[in-house]
Amino acid sequence: MLLKHKSAQLGMVLITTMLLLVVVTLLALAMFRGVGLEQRIAGNTMEKQRALQASVSAQQYAEQWLVNNVTSTPAVDCSAQASSSTGAPAICTDILANSLDSGTVGNVPWVIGGGQVGYSYNPVNATGSSYFPISTSGGLSTYYSAPVVYISQLGVDATLSNAVDYRIDAWSYAGARNTVAVVESTYQVRFISKAPGP
C-alpha cells in the first residue's frame, strides 16, 4: 500500500497568491489616486489659464481704449475712484504700484486709501449676455468677479518728446477667489502733427 504525503508547498501557493493580490490591490489604489491628482492638476491649470486670459482680454481692451481716447481724456487723480462697470476707464496720474495700500500689484482687489480702484471690464455680446458671467459661488462656466483694469500715465518719454508712456495693469479671478492672474504692460502713444492739406 502506497501512502501519499501532501506536499508542504500547498501552503506556499496560498501565501504567494495572497501577496500578489495585496500588491495588485495597492497598485490599483495608487493608480486611482494618481488619476484623481492628475484631474486636480488639470483643473488648476485650466482655472489659471481662464484667469490669465480674462486679465489679458481686459488689458487689450484698455490698450485699445487708450489709443482711441488719449486725446480727449485728461489724466485725473484716481486714488478715490471706486471700481465701476458702468463708467468709462480713466487715465490716472497715480502710478498704481506706488499708490496701493498693500504696496504690491499682486494683492487684489487693488485698494488705495481704503477704496477699491480700477475699471471693471465686463462687456456684453450681441445677445445681451456678459462675456464674464459672475458668480461668487464659482464654477467652470462663471467667474468670481469681472476683470479690472487701471491705466497710469507715466509721463513724457525720456527719448521722444512727442511720446507719452502709460502703464496698463489688469487682473482677473477665474471661477474661484483663490485663482487670480495679474498682467501689466507699458504702452507708448506718439503724437504726430500733420500739416493740413492733401
In whole angstroms, what is the distance from residue 116 CA to residue 120 CA?
A: 11
**Closest to 96 in 3D by CA, of 167, 148, 157, 171:** 167
In whole angstroms, what is the distance from residue 92 CA to residue 115 CA?
A: 15
Residue 150 has a pLDDT of 94
For the stretch 93-132, pLDDT in tens is 988 888 888 888 888 899 888 888 889 998 887 777 788 8
Determine what percent of the chain falls in helix, strand and coil, rounding each to the nearest 5: 30, 25, 45
Cβ-based neighbours of 37, under 8 Å, separated by 6 or more: none
For the stretch 4-58, pLDDT in tens is 655 555 677 788 888 999 999 988 888 877 777 787 888 788 899 999 999 999 9
For the stretch 169-197, pLDDT in tens is 999 999 888 889 999 999 998 887 766 66
pLDDT (mean) for 128-155: 85
